[in-house]
């Protein structure tokens, strides 16, 4: 595992002690004020003490109008940022790095959370049932073009607040069907203005968002999670996939974005994200992180290939707080069981 445990020292990204990344995973354990709890401090601390090079926090809501998840933490106000400080300090004391994932759920929500119609690229409700409140997803309101700067400002303020609190970086959640992905995805985006239709127009929201954030905070401290290919009851991919990646990726490089997190969630890596990183790598000069379902041996091979710079694991970090140390020593891994979602260990 020579490469996996090599420090990451790319000049356009934050330094990491190794290439093992804990993926962002929503856990629903924030308190009633949507602040981190002592239990959450210990949860993240244990992963840092167990050797994780970088921890991506669970999705953290940037504004109440972007909420849609029971007991998700916020970073919408200064008090939320202050409440994250014990988490940050605990991770740093264990020599780890931590990035705050900034989350706006868009139409994957309901007015029970947002207090009014959720906002989106479209006025069409998401298909399916919302497990967060046991109701159908709410009917969204399509954002007017004049409102886009207001949304970008919410992300910018959240990024500044996070970095001021001591986070090493922020990650813009632009995947998995949430707000930025609702613009990128031609199966969702039915707009006829400058934010819909062509590949260039569908990428406009994401690129303007990244531009706004990287003008406000150092680009080396900003990542973006995208999920162009994933399983959702079958293989689900952006329409015009190659054209989308061909337009979006070089533009993200030009904006100075520090890292791209190519996510496939609980999918076969080689059928989804692994294919995507092979399209993205030649077009992007920053750090690429991906993985999720790889064995340690597969992870090492991907690093050696140069396709990715660091490897994410999700459920394996829930089951193994000391995942990095177990991999380093060759110890057996505890298999993930769905019952583990019920507690923070």
152 has catalytic annotation: no
Distance, first Cα to last Cα, the chain = 27
CA distance 196 to 123: 13
CA angle (163 as vertex; 253, 245 as ends), nearest 5: 20
What's the per-residue H, E or C state across the chain?
A: CCCCCCCECCCCCCCECCCEEECCCCCCCCCCCCCCCHHHHHHHHHHHHCCCCEEECCCEECCHHHCCCCCCCECCCHHHHHHHHHHHHHHHHCCCEEEEEEECCCCCCCHHHHCCCCEECCCCCCCCEECCCCEECCCCEECCHHHHHHHHHHHHHHHHHHHHHCCCEEEEECCCCCHHHHHHCCCCCCCCCCCCCCHHHHHHHHHHHHHHHHHHCCHHHEEEEECCEEECCCEEECCCHHHHHHHHHHHHHHCCCCEEEECCCCCCHHHCHHHHHHHHHHHCCCEEEEEECCCHHHHHHHHHHCCCCEEEECHHHHHCCCHHHHHHHCCCCCCCCHHHHHCCC
Task: Tell me if 189 sits within 8 A of 122, measured CB to CB.
Answer: yes
Task: Tell me if 193 sits within 8 A of 185, measured CB to CB.
Answer: no
Q: Which of 74, 152, 178, 269 is catalytic?
A: 178
CA distance 256 to 259: 9
Q: Which residues are catalytic?
A: 178
């Amino acid at each position: 595992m020579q490469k996996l445990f090599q420090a990451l020292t790319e000049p356009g990204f934050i330094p990491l002690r190794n290439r093992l990344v804990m993926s962002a995973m929503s856990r629903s354990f924030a308190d009633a004020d949507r602040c981190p709890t002592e239990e959450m401090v210990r949860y993240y601390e244990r992963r840092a003490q167990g050797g994780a090079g970088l921890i991506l926090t669970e999705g953290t809501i940037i504004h109440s109008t972007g909420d849609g998840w029971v007991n998700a933490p916020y970073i919408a106000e200064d008090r939320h940022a202050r409440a994250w400080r014990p988490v940050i300090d605990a991770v740093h004391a264990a020599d780890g790095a931590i990035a705050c994932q900034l989350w706006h759920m868009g139409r994957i929500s309901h007015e029970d959370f947002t207090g009014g119609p959720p906002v989106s690229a479209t006025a069409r409700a998401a298909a399916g049932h919302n497990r967060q409140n046991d109701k159908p997803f709410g009917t969204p309101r399509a954002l007017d073009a004049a409102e886009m700067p207001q949304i970008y400002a919410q992300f910018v303020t959240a990024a500044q607040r996070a970095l001021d609190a001591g986070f090493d970086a922020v990650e813009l959640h632009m995947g998995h069907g949430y707000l930025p992905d609702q613009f990128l995805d031609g199966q969702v985006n039915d707009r006829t203005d400058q934010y819909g239709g062509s590949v260039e127009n569908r990428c406009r929201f994401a690129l303007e968002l990244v531009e706004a954030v990287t003008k406000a905070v150092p680009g080396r401290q900003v990542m973006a999670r995208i999920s162009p290919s994933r399983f959702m009851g079958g293989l689900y991919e952006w329409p015009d996939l190659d054209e989308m990646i061909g337009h979006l990726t070089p533009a993200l490089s030009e904006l100075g974005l520090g890292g791209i997190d190519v996510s496939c969630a609980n999918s076969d890596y080689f059928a989804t994200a692994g294919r995507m990183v092979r399209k993205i790598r030649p077009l992007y000069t920053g750090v690429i992180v991906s993985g999720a379902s790889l064995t340690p041996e597969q992870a090492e091979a991907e690093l050696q290939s140069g396709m990715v710079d660091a490897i994410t694991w999700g459920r394996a970090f829930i089951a193994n707080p000391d995942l990095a140390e177990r991999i380093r020593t060759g110890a057996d891994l505890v298999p993930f069981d769905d019952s583990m979602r019920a507690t923070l260990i």
